[in-house]
Amino acid sequence: MATTASITLASDIMPNFGGYTKSMTLTEAGTLTDIKETTGYARRQLSAASKVDLVTMANLLVGEDTTNLSHKIFIKNIGYRDAIDKTTGVKVYINSVEVGVLYGGDWMLCPVVASDNEDIEVEPLTDDTVVLEWVMFYEG
Amino acid sequence: MATTAAITLNSDLMTGALSVSGNTTMMKAGTSADDLDQMKMGYNKIPTGTSFDLLDATAAGIDKATKVYLCNESTDETYYVTIVIDAKIIGRLYGGDWMFIPWNQDDATHDLEITATGGTNNITWIAFHEGETLGTSGD
Domain boundaries, chain B: 35-129
Q: Across chain B, what does the average pLDDT equal?
A: 93
CATH superfamily of the A37-138 domain: Jelly Rolls (2.60.120.10)
For A75-94, the pLDDT digits (tens) are 999 999 989 989 889 999 99
Decide if pLDDT at A67 tops 70. no
Q: Which residues of B touch A96 (CB under 8 A)?
A: 88
Specify the pTM: 0.95
Question: Any idea how long chain B is?
Answer: 139
pLDDT given for residue A135 in this prediction: 97
Decide if pLDDT at A64 tops 80. no
**What was the ipTM of the complex prediction?**
0.95
Contact A27 B77 (CB under 8 A): yes
Q: Is B55 helix (H, G, I), strand (E, B) or coil?
A: strand
Contact A113/B at CB under 8 A: yes
For B80-135, the pLDDT digits (tens) are 999 999 999 999 999 999 999 999 987 888 999 999 999 999 999 999 999 888 88
- The model's confidence at residue A63, banded by pLDDT at 50, 70 and 90, is low
Fold entry, domain B35-129: Jelly Rolls (2.60.120)
- The model's confidence at residue B32, banded by pLDDT at 50, 70 and 90, is confident
pLDDT given for residue A112 in this prediction: 92
DSSP string, B14-41: SSS-EEEEEEEE-BSTT-SS-B--EEEE
Q: Which of A73, A5, A18 is nearest to A42 (CA)?
A: A73
Contact B66 A100 (CB under 8 A): yes
Mean pLDDT of A4-23: 96
